[in-house]
Structure 1
Amino acid sequence: MEQQPNQPSPENIMKIGTGFWASKILLTAVSFQLFTIVAEKKTMKAEDVKDILGLKCANRHVYDFLDALTGFGFLKRDGVLETAIYSNTVDTDTFLDSNKPSYIGGILEMMNNRLYGFWGNLGEGLLTGLPQNEAKRSEDFFGLIYKDPEKLNEFTHAMSGIQMGNFITFAQKFDFTKYKTLIDVGGSAGLLSVMVAKHNPHMHCTSFDLPPVEPIANATIQQFGLPDRVKAASGDFFTMPIPDADIVVMGNILHDWNEENKISLMRKAYEALPDNGAFVAIEGIIDDERKQNVFGMMMSLNMLIETGTGFDYTFADFNKWANIVGFKSTSLLPLVGPSSAAIAYK
């Protein structure tokens, strides 16, 4: 029977309520390196997937797993059940094959290994205002990550994964003609600096982060063959000045902190810039009416989980802080999906 306009429907309620089912199916596939294996084999039958992954469940559940991924648009399929032949879609082949430099699965690996469990305590986070990650065990989240090479490697690649498309788009869409130097504060694996240098041959870039990250960034720089124009530098952006550059970028940095620290970091960026220099924050900037960018609001709740006091923000918020610091103008550059570059000019 056709549903009448404005007739109540539970469809969206159930879609969102069971959303963790869909999420866990994708996260599990990524943790199994399924799309990397399929990319190597080109096509696979369900029984081959079962053998390679060492799955002990019934064949029917292997079909359920692969066919759900097919229904979500992550796999292609010819045939059904025993005759089914699976292959990657264009998206999964590009972004979820870990052998490709375009791989973004690092953030999904971290979501599976860390965030999936922590988000089970969102209610407690809202009730208490306290972080729900390693900090619940009186461990400093960032300190724990930076002293554990394995966790640090996972974290840096996660940050690279979630921002890769934004970095490429920023490198192509922002007008770099007036500038010569860029520093990426909290640059992690160095991908933004590499992408800017790759697409803008006159630019010299520096990826700036804590000392344990420098070898990871240097590896990225070598991988892309850009050591002549991209450097890695070490330092703590809270305890020391930001090195001078024509452009200061912070990707997924401001949202880690409370408003006071956000303004402090923007002030440090201002001091590092020449007149007409640009400060750029690349994040899931929430629309001013707070209706459209739901991802930005979910990311803000993730900051509650991770830091307790950090939050994502609107362009109006950014403008207010830019005015406090003394920037003369601002603009907003849409990037990929829910992300934008909020830009303040000195």
Structure 2
Amino acid sequence: MSGPSTLNDINRLGIAFAEAKVVLAAVELGLFTRLGAGPATRDELCAALGLHPRAARDFLTALTCTGLVHHEDGKYAASPAADTYLDKTKPTYGGAFLERANRMMYPAWENLSGLLRTGEPQLAGREDQAAAFEKMMGNPDHLRNFLRMMDAVSGPLAPELATKFDWSAHRTVLDVGGARGNLLAQVLKAHPHLTGTVFDLPPIEPMFDEHIAGFGLTDRARFAGGDAFTTELPAADVVVTGHVLHDWGPAERTELVRRMARAVNPGGALLIYDMLLEPAPADPWNTLISLNMQLLSPGGSEYTLAECEEYLAAAGLSDVDTVRLGDHDTLVIARKPA
């Protein structure tokens, strides 16, 4: 594998955080939403976004170097991808992940050396996992931001999940930690014979009802509230969970998988998707996300397929297949004997 070969290459790699922050600031300031209304001059953008002219020129020039902004005839315009995914007024908006990255990930990564020395999360004021979730659930604005981020992550995976697993022999599906039902809704739309349930923390239910109504699925989808560690999960032919196990350490993952496996009807399947770690990855994305989980939580991290198979074996499931899901996720399919 080739890598940086000159000091300049190494220096550029070392300040990649600066380019990242330019993009995150553009999302925070609503630049792409403003450009969604049409191209604008630098002065127009300064007025619309409240930018100081001293830094605006270099900020916009740096964005053009990323390819997210084009500059022609004195006006700036969003690239097709930025216009599609980073304009908050469009239904295709996927910038909620970057919003959360700006608020939480970026400050935490400043203290990576602290994690490496102590093994402890590094975001200032971070509570333990249960307290952090409880605090977020008590703040509707924070909760909505979190759910939008979950939608941005799960949304692109849902169409693939709908096609890469054979749903024809099943009638019911349960999404554990399914937030406001974004992934479940897309699976149900693709397979009209299915009915489904999202199991998640009770404060999410009103936002689930609102979101599911937007899909026209109130007659086929319902919400069940509770704590997955203490509440009996509703039974279903297929139980799905994604980007949930990585919030917890190995002991908690083992327990959650055991409880989910128990909810699978005989002859059904347990589906787990996450950004599984590889021994020698060509792309560092999953490894970086794993470090990020460790920076933000006391037990969380990504995990390997072998570790996932151990959790499944402890739950009595051994018939395991895997399917690639999206650019970074692996779908692990474990079937329960009839």
TM-score (norm 2): 0.92
Alpha-carbon contact 1:183-1:245 (below 8 Å) kept = yes
* Match of residue 234 from structure 2: 243
Identity of aligned residues (%): 32
Choose from 108, 120, 123 the match for 1:130.
Answer: 120
For 1:158, give the aligned amino acid: M
Cα RMSD for the two superposed structures: 2.0
For 2:34, give the aligned amino acid: I
Alpha-carbon contact 2:158-2:186 (below 8 Å) kept = yes
For 1:44, give the aligned amino acid: A
* Match of residue 104 from structure 1: 94
Other structure's SS at 1:233 match: strand
Choose from 55, 67, 77 the match for 1:73.
Answer: 67
Deviation string, structure 1 residues 237-274 (Cα, Å, up to 9, x no partner):
11111111111111110011111111111111110001
Query: 1:89 Cα shift?
Result: 1.9
Choose from 274, 279, 292 the match for 2:270.
Answer: 279
* Match of residue 176 from structure 2: 185
Alpha-carbon contact 2:246-2:302 (below 8 Å) kept = yes
Structure-1 separation of matches of 2:282 and 2:241: 23
Kindly tell me: are residues 232 and 325 of structure 1, through their superposed partners in 2, closer, same or farther at Cα, counting changes over 3 Å? same
Query: 1:11 Cα shift?
Result: 4.5
Kindly tell me: are residues 106 and 303 of structure 1, through their superposed partners in 2, closer, same or farther at Cα, counting changes over 3 Å? same
Structure 2: where are the runs of 5+ without partners?
none
* Match of residue 163 from structure 2: 172
Query: 1:29 Cα shift?
Result: 0.8
2:257 pairs with 1:266: yes
Choose from 317, 320, 324 the match for 1:330.
Answer: 320
2:37 pairs with 1:46: no
Query: 1:6 Cα shift?
Result: 9.3
Alpha-carbon contact 1:125-1:308 (below 8 Å) kept = no
Alpha-carbon contact 1:129-1:309 (below 8 Å) kept = no
Q: How many residues align?
A: 334
2:140 pairs with 1:149: yes
TM-score (norm 1): 0.90
Kindly tell me: are residues 290 and 314 of structure 1, through their superposed partners in 2, closer, same or farther at Cα, counting changes over 3 Å? farther
Listed as ranges, the matches of 1:220-239 within 5 Å are 220-239=211-230
2:196 pairs with 1:199: no
Structure-2 separation of matches of 1:128 and 1:164: 35
Other structure's SS at 1:276 match: strand
Structure-2 separation of matches of 1:26 and 1:90: 15
Structure-1 separation of matches of 2:119 and 2:106: 19
* Match of residue 37 from structure 1: 34
Structure-1 separation of matches of 2:186 and 2:128: 37
Structure 1: where are the runs of 5+ without partners?
none
